[in-house]
Amino acid sequence: MASEKIVVCGGGGFIGGHLVADLLRQGKDVRAVDEKPLDEWYQRFPEAENLQLDLQEKENCERAIAGCSLVYNLSADMGGMGFIESNKALCMLSVLINTHLLMAAKDAGVERFLFSSSACVYAADKQTDPNVTALKEEDAYPAMAEDGYGWEKLFSERMCRHFLEDFGLTTRVPRYHNVYGPHGTYDGGREKAPAAICRKVIQAKLSGNHEIEVWGDGKQTRSFMWIDDCVKGTQMIMQGDYAEPLNLGSSELVTINELVDIAEEIAGVKLKRRYNLSAPKGVNGRNSDNTLIRKLFNWEPSTRLRNGLERTYHWIYDDMFSRSQRPAPLAQHTV
């Protein structure tokens, strides 16, 4: 496939940027597409063809995939729990992106189309206990997805299924579980728990105010997947023969308190914790059952959280420090 053109929609985002980087390392011909201005992309590579396009518009989807054989759709309006609980309509509008990309891909005769789904599709009644039973792919039904964001992902999964059944478009659907790593957002409201915790610990250490706010009671459980595992698994699923949605996540379950413990250990500090019980905290427990991906690929995401979080922490620390050293903008004077 080295000579085929590959498009990464959402290529200016966190996962998309890492995927573009890996494809380029393999010598692939890559087009990266994102709605954000080019200077706001998390990573941008001159070796790729980089386009700024709003993929909610069908004409832009047609332009984005023109001449491409493989389409990775990682594009969505999303963020961490603080964002998706407060922006349900914006999250739902991402359905326009996948709908128009699927229509364009069908008309253009692309070989394969991958839609990045989420563990937020899973039924809420299976995630009420922090001591959660790991979620199998079939646990998305009977449907009771995360309101807004989860329902958009579940609907788009069904769209992929029916474009395969009705039009013969080869579709693939990984369900991501909490991806983290460097070159992602860690402030501004869209950040996810690992990046947010790293930022808070760094701020507490540098300020000398050894206190941290934790959303919820800290007992809620999650698994977190290292970005390199995500990128590898995404390409395996794209190239594989399995057409149904497939978990792509770590099975290493931790509480949010344990996540803070790890960040504190990396930073060499111990902080007082203030628990904000009114803040968005999502479901009480969520973990990835990797039985099926192990059966299909003899592989699963396996990077230990401690190892990945240390690299993430140091990247965030360095980026925060470099931001603090930038000169302030000059004041504007009028005569």
Catalytic residue ranges: 149
Q: Which single residue is written with the structure tokens 């990045």?
A: 116
DSSP structure string for 132-154: PPPBPGGGG-S--PPTTHHHHHH
CA atoms in the 13 A half-sphere facing the CB of 262 = 21
The two three-digit tokens of residue 171, written as one number? 């579709």
> What residue has token string 């478009």?
169
> Helices marked H in the chain — which ranges?
14-25, 58-65, 81-84, 88-92, 95-108, 149-167, 193-207, 227-239, 256-267, 291-297, 305-325
How many residues would you count in the chain? 335
Q: Determine the Cα–Cα distance for residues 70 and 76; give it in Å rounded to an integer.
A: 18
CA atoms within 13 A on the CB side of 37: 2
